[in-house]
């Protein structure tokens, strides 16, 4: 059954019939299905790796209104997978770049840009104007926010996520089926799962997962086919294997369960453990320029590179001792508490967890985190090194 009511349907023009003729020839789609696509309003949250194929294929399919929500700017490192953007778009807002590409592909699609960060304050107001939300985000706090907003509004949430060479996709649509919280009641500990910027991703992977999401959106709109509701599709690009897990609705789910306890949007950064608790000590930082000054003065320092060997090969930090993050706690005896220790990674995120691991192990020396990591050193000090 389609989520688009008959009252919203309008006839196709001759130009539209020509453009979408390959859809119209399908018994499962036909004129009625294309009319529903034309009437549909879809919000894509994130104009990155997943959002790119989502936007392009939904625009090509003739979805009448596409909302694109993103607050970020195009970077060179995006172009390995975010095919909606081009080299000329570097430093442009992703929403503007995506809008131009969609209009070039299909001028008949109305594009609504939301150049903002989705938050508990604006999510309900933005999402209420759409029939379907396609989640192309890359962090847990926004995934839970999208899920909860969709449940509260009664909107289907077409979910996709990627990690290195593996991807997932499903459809969450309460009360007719499970929501994201039924599958993942709580987020993983902060830092356990690195982002694409830290862990990398096979460039074609988001294209595959995002295209699956686009297919699920089309089926919801047209009312055809068998959707992923109640099923989690797992894809391994390296092994070229698909698996499927059954997902059942959790009667005790705090937002879609029988006795729900969440009736409004919450603080998702706090829920995901991203806010510093009163028990945690703030991490002391040092900038690349400050570190350079201390090195030039000959200050005694322990500089610790927590990156793995394959990552250190991209940009070497000379004079640093390599201790991977996973070995930190058991190698605490290699540190001298009387000498300041500076920790570095790519962008200064994983190194925070190395410092916390040493603190938890009872280390008493001074620990400093290189702000923005090796990329800051390459940007501000040694420009012969690449930023990656």
List residues with catalytic annotation.
196, 345
| Count of Cβ atoms closer than 10 Å to residue 25 Cβ | 9
- CA-only gyration radius of the chain, Å: 24
């Amino acid at each position: 059954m389609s989520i688009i009511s008959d009252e919203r349907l309008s006839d196709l023009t001759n130009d539209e019939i020509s453009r979408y003729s390959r859809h119209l020839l399908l018994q499962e789609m036909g004129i009625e299905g294309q009319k529903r696509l034309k009437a549909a309003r879809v919000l894509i949250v994130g104009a990155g790796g997943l959002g790119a194929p989502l936007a392009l294929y939904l625009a090509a399919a003739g979805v009448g209104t596409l909302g694109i929500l993103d607050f970020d700017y195009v970077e060179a490192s995006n172009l390995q997978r975010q095919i909606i953007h081009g080299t000329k778009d570097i430093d442009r807002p992703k929403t503007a770049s995506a809008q131009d590409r969609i209009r070039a592909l299909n001028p008949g699609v109305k594009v609504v840009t939301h150049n903002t960060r989705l938050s508990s304050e604006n999510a309900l107001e933005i999402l209420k104007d759409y029939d379907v939300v396609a989640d192309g985000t890359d962090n847990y706090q926004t995934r839970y926010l999208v899920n909860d907003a969709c449940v509260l509004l009664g909107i289907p949430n077409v979910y996709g996520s990627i990690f290195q060479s593996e991807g997932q996709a499903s459809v969450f649509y309460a009360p007719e089926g499970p929501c994201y919280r039924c599958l993942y009641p709580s987020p993983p500990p902060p830092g356990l799962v690195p982002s694409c910027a830290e862990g990398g991703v096979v460039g074609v992977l988001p294209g595959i997962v995002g295209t699956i999401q686009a297919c699920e959106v089309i089926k919801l709109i047209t009312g055809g086919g068998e959707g992923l509701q109640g099923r989690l599709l797992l894809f391994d690009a390296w092994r070229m294997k698909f698996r499927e897990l059954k997902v059942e609705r959790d009667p005790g789910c705090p937002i879609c369960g029988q006795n729900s306890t969440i009736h409004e949007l919450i603080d998702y950064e706090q829920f995901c453990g991203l806010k510093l608790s009163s028990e945690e000590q703030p991490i002391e930082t040092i900038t690349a320029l400050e570190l350079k000054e201390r090195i030039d003065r000959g200050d005694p320092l322990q500089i610790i590179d927590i990156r793995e060997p394959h990552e250190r090969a991209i940009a070497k930090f000379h004079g640093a001792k390599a201790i991977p993050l996973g070995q930190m706690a058991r190698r605490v005896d290699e540190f001298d508490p009387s000498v300041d220790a500076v920790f570095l990674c790519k962008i200064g995120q994983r190194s925070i967890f190395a410092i916390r691991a040493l603190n938890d192990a009872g280390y008493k020396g001074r620990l400093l985190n290189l702000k923005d990591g090796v990329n800051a050193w390459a940007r501000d000090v040694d420009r012969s090194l690449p930023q990656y």
